[in-house]
Amino acid sequence: MEALFDYLRTRFDTEPKPRLHIGEAMGCWLYYTAIAEEIPVLESALNTTTDDVLVELIKDGMKLATHQKNTLESFMIKEGITLPDSSEHKPNSDPNSVPLGVKATDSEIANFLSAKIASNTVMCSSNISQCIRSDIGLMWTRFHSEKVIIGMDVKTKMREHGWIKVPPYYSPPGAPNN
């Protein structure tokens, strides 16, 4: 995957880089806001769970969100896009000290993480479709691929632990009942 992105980057580095159009700038601003606000929520989630699998998923999600946020922040500063304000980081606390009425369940945390990955993936797809500049399109394609990969891991672990929420099955009219 890395090799493919490195090849594509060298292929598109020679293309002209006009100023961003408003859709490209807005896509950057919205995605940055989404992942910047995701990080403190995931920090809170770390403070409320003791499940080792979920802790690892949260840490992976935070690591990816932080990496994408930093990449996007550098790009936005270079392109002159104003950075939005974002929430403060959460301090570490003992998950066993959080009152039950405040503490999120493991299922709630896993489904939040899954929903954030899904919405981030959709945002990346929208941003890819709006890009005129190839370098920006490549950045969104990379972000999209990274989110899809972590999303597959999250889905597998959610299924294994019974955290996944499955919509009702569809049976078309006249189909045999199974």
The mean of the pLDDT values for the chain is 91
CATH code of the domain in which 124 resides: 1.20.1260.10
Burial of 115 (0-12, 13-18, 19+ CB in 10 A): exposed
58 in a domain, yes or no? yes
Domain for residue 138, yes or no?
Answer: yes
178 falls within a domain: no
* Mean pLDDT computed over 51-60: 97
pTM of the model: 0.86
pLDDT at 131 over 70: yes
Domain membership of residue 136 (yes or no) is: yes
With both helix axes pointing from N to C terminus, report the angle between 2-12 and 134-161 in degrees, rounded to the nearest 10: 160
Domain of 127 in residue numbering reads as 22-86+101-161
Cβ neighbors of 17 (< 8 A, separation 6 or more) are: 133, 135
What is d(CA 26, CA 48) in angstroms, rounded to the nearest whole number?
34
pLDDT attached to residue 11: 59
